């Protein structure tokens, strides 16, 4: 692979991670760094930072059309990603991958919402005011947002030539979609007062989620080395793979989570041959980890501490990490370089994926050597 010459070695580690929960000599680790030939030092967040696309001087209101073009034009998306690939060193299991990134809830626009494209985000305002009059309509052939999504995916594939992977857009899962489309406060009340309307919406969205994922998976299968790619995690698997989640779970009880959303999670995860569950924030992991661990269809758990919370390495988190590993699930953590040694002093390197960064190629490779040493010490 052009942007990842050591892909065969990384692929072997990832296959062991998914299929055997085993290691060759270290845990899986993705280390991003600037290339030696980088034209953009000091190394910024090139992947999604809007400053890489000439939007820094635009105004959200006055320049709405130019901002929308930045998000939706296929060539603009490709050039932005190519610039990131050209300037990034993908160390360890880090992979060059891209996808249509309109935030995590794009399906809201497919079902009647309006995507509000801003300089640094895409937002979807509430549209469901009354369940009794709301109609679930999504004509794939005519919906402008879905057709724009497909146009970008097709363009990224056409320009690929074996140089990078193309992941599936984040369409969103039902709890988080409905909390936007209905409003979080109203949805909480609906779980009590209109449970059947909510359950119907969840079932419909889960079926659509599977349909859209299957379409993109078939398009990208060959380009992705006959596998699936979860792009924002830089995570490849040897088969169907995506993220399921329910950030809305932080505001509901474990009983309601099990009743309303666990069936959806099981359905979507069953489509995957390798399923990752994204847990965001201490409340979500504290209240719902047991229910998530009981879902056989979930293979891997990714934990994000969330804004304002202690960092990834924090003593109070360690029992939760160990509980995940002891349950036979894989564990994916976003970590700062200085957190990796203490994490590996307590966690098994088997079934562990650490995603981090370094300031140079040399530092990235040196860190990978240290991770190999720390993994061996934990195994001893």
What pLDDT, on a 0 to 100 scale, did the predictor assign at position 281?
A: 86
Spatial distance between the Cα atoms of 364 and 318, rounded to a whole number of angstroms: 25
Q: Which residues of the chain have pLDDT under 70?
A: 41-54, 380
DSSP 156: H
Integer Cα distance of 300 and 316 in angstroms: 21
**Residue corresponding to tokens 């709405």:** 64
pLDDT value of position 380: 65
Rounded to whole angstroms, how far apart are CA atoms 226 and 223?
Answer: 7
Domains with residue ranges and CATH for the chain: 7-379 (3.20.20.210)
Strands 352-357 and 330-334: parallel
What is the SS3 string spanning 49-114?
CHHHHCCCCCCCCCCHHHHHHHHHCHHHHHHHHHHHHHHEEEEECCCCEECCCCCCCCHHHHCCCC
The whole-number pLDDT of residue 218 equals 98
Q: Are 264 and 253 in contact (CB under 8 A)?
A: no
| pTM for the predicted model, two decimal places | 0.95
Q: What is the pLDDT of residue 282?
A: 85
Structure tokens at 339: 């957190």
Q: How far apart are CA 236 and CA 17, in angstroms?
A: 10
């Amino acid at each position: 692979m052009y942007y990842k010459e050591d892909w065969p070695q990384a692929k072997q580690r990832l296959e062991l991670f998914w299929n055997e929960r085993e290691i060759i000599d270290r845990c899986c680790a993705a280390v991003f760094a600037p290339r030696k030939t980088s034209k953009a030092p000091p190394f910024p967040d090139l992947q999604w930072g809007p400053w890489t696309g000439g939007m820094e001087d635009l105004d959200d209101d006055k320049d709405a059309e130019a901002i929308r073009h930045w998000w939706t034009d296929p060539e603009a998306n490709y050039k932005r990603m190519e610039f990131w690939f050209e300037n990034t060193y993908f160390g360890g299991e880090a992979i060059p991958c891209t996808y249509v990134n309109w935030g995590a809830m794009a399906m809201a626009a497919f079902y009647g919402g309006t995507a509000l494209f801003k300089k640094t985000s895409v937002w979807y305002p509430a549209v469901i005011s009354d369940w009794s009059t709301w109609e679930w309509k999504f004509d794939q052939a005519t919906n402008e947002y879905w057709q724009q999504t497909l146009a970008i995916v097709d363009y990224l594939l056409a320009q690929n030539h074996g140089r990078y992977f193309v992941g599936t857009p984040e369409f969103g899962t039902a709890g988080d979609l409905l909390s936007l489309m209905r409003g979080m406060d109203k949805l909480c009340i609906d779980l009590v007062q209109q449970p059947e309307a909510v359950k119907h919406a969840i079932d419909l969205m889960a079926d659509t989620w599977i349909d859209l994922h299957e379409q993109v998976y078939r398009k990208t299968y060959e380009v992705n080395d006959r596998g699936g790619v979860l792009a924002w995690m830089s995570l490849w698997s040897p088969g169907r793979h995506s993220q399921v989640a329910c950030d809305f779970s932080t505001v509901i009880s474990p009983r309601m989570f099990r009743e309303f959303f666990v069936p959806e999670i099981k359905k979507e995860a069953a489509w995957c041959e390798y399923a990752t569950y994204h847990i965001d924030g201490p409340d979500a992991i504290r209240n719902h980890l047991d229910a998530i661990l009981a879902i056989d269809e979930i293979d891997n758990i990714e934990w994000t501490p969330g804004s304002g919370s202690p960092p990834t390495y924090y003593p109070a988190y360690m029992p939760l990490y160990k509980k995940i590993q002891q349950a036979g699930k894989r564990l994916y953590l976003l970590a700062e370089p200085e957190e990796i040694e203490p994490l590996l002093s307590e966690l098994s390197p088997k079934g562990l994926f650490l995603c981090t960064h370094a300031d140079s190629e040399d530092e990235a490779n040196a860190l990978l050597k240290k991770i190999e040493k720390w993994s061996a010490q934990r195994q001893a």
